[in-house]
Amino acid sequence: MVFHFRCFSIEENEYKTRTQTKSTSTGTFHTACSDLNRSVSVPNFHTKTSQVSNSADKSSNLRVFTVAELKTATKNFCGSSKIGEGGFGRVYKGVVKSLESPFHEIPVAVKYADGLLQGHKEWLTEINFLGKVKHPNLVKLVGYCEEEGELGTKLFLVYEYMPNRSLRDHLSSRSKAPMPWTMRLKVAHDAASGLTYLHEDMNFQIILRDFKSSNILLDDQLNAKLSDFGVARLGPEEGLTHISTNFAGTREYAAPEYLAVGHLTSKSDVWSYGVFLYELITGRRPLDRKRPQEEQKLLEWVLPYLDSEKFMLIVDPRLEGKYSLKSAQKLSFIANLCLSKDPKSRPKMSVVLEMVSKLIKVPSQATTPTLPLVPEESMKVYLDPIQRKKIHDDTKHEGEIGSVVRPPRTRSLKLLKSCFK
Q: Are residues 283 and 413 in the same domain?
A: yes
> What is the band of 87 on the pLDDT scale with cuts at 50, 70, 90?
low
Q: Are residues 246 and 113 in the same domain?
A: no
Residue 317 lies in a domain: yes
What interhelical angle do 181-200 and 349-359 show, nearest 10?
160
113, 133, 160: which is the final residue of a domain?
160
Residue 249's pLDDT is 86
Report pLDDT digits (tens) over 230-259. Answer: 889 988 988 788 888 888 889 999 999 999
Kindly report whether the global pTM for this prediction surpasses the value 0.85.
Answer: no
291 CB neighbour count, 10 Å cutoff: 14
C-alpha–C-alpha distance, residues 262 and 21, integer Å: 32
> What is the band of 151 on the pLDDT scale with cuts at 50, 70, 90?
low
Name the residue with higher pLDDT: 358 or 57. 358
Name the residue with higher pLDDT: 416 or 173. 173
Which candidate, 133, 264, 131, 136, places its Cα nearest to that of 204? 133
Contact 340, 348 (CB under 8 A): no
Residue 247 lies in a domain: yes
99, 134, 160: which is the final residue of a domain?
160
pLDDT surpassing 80 at residue 30: no
73 CB neighbour count, 10 Å cutoff: 23
Q: Are residues 167 and 48 in the same domain?
A: no
Name the residue with higher pLDDT: 152 or 161. 161
β-pair partners for 138 = 226
| DSSP state for residue 356 in the 8-state scheme | H
Report pLDDT digits (tens) over 248-299. Answer: 889 999 999 999 999 999 999 999 999 999 999 999 999 999 999 999 999 9
Residue 18 lies in a domain: no
Contact 83, 109 (CB under 8 A): yes
Domain with residue 155: its CATH number is: 3.30.200.20
| Residue type at 293 in one-letter notation | Q
What H or E segment, with its residue span, contains residue 310?
Answer: none
- Ramachandran quadrant class, 83 (left: phi over 0; alpha: psi -120 to 50; beta: rest): alpha
Which candidate, 339, 355, 338, 356, places its Cα nearest to that of 347? 338
Residue 2 lies in a domain: no
Report pLDDT digits (tens) over 90-142. Answer: 899 999 998 888 789 999 999 987 656 567 888 888 898 888 889 999 999 99
pLDDT surpassing 80 at residue 47: no
> What is the band of 38 on the pLDDT scale with cuts at 50, 70, 90?
very low
Q: Provide Rg for the chain, Cα atoms.
A: 22
Supply the range of the domain harboring residue 77.
Answer: 27-160
- Mean residue pLDDT of the chain comes to 76
For the chain, the residue count is: 421
Residue 14 lies in a domain: no
What H or E segment, with its residue span, contains residue 170?
Answer: helix 167-171
Residue 362's pLDDT is 46
Per-residue pLDDT, averaged over 52-81, amounts to 77
**Distances in Å between the alpha carbon of 300 and those of 72, 83, 355, 385, 404?**
49, 33, 25, 17, 9
Q: Are residues 197 and 337 in the same domain?
A: yes
Report pLDDT digits (tens) over 183-224. Answer: 999 999 999 999 999 999 998 999 999 999 999 999 999 999
> What is the band of 32 on the pLDDT scale with cuts at 50, 70, 90?
very low
Q: Which one of 34-38, 149-153, 199-203 scores highest in mean pLDDT?
A: 199-203
Q: Are residues 262 and 399 in the same domain?
A: yes
Q: Which one of 80-84, 323-327, 384-388 scores highest in mean pLDDT?
A: 323-327
**Distances in Å between the alpha carbon of 243 and those of 92, 234, 259, 265, 377?**
35, 9, 13, 7, 36
Domain count, the chain: 2
Q: Are residues 281 and 237 in the same domain?
A: yes
Q: Are residues 192 and 155 in the same domain?
A: no
Domain with residue 408: its CATH number is: 1.10.510.10
pLDDT surpassing 80 at residue 338: yes
Tell me which residues are annotated as active site.
210
C-alpha–C-alpha distance, residues 344 and 110, integer Å: 39
pLDDT surpassing 70 at residue 382: no
Residue 12's pLDDT is 36
Residue 166's pLDDT is 94
Per-residue pLDDT, averaged over 402-416, amounts to 41
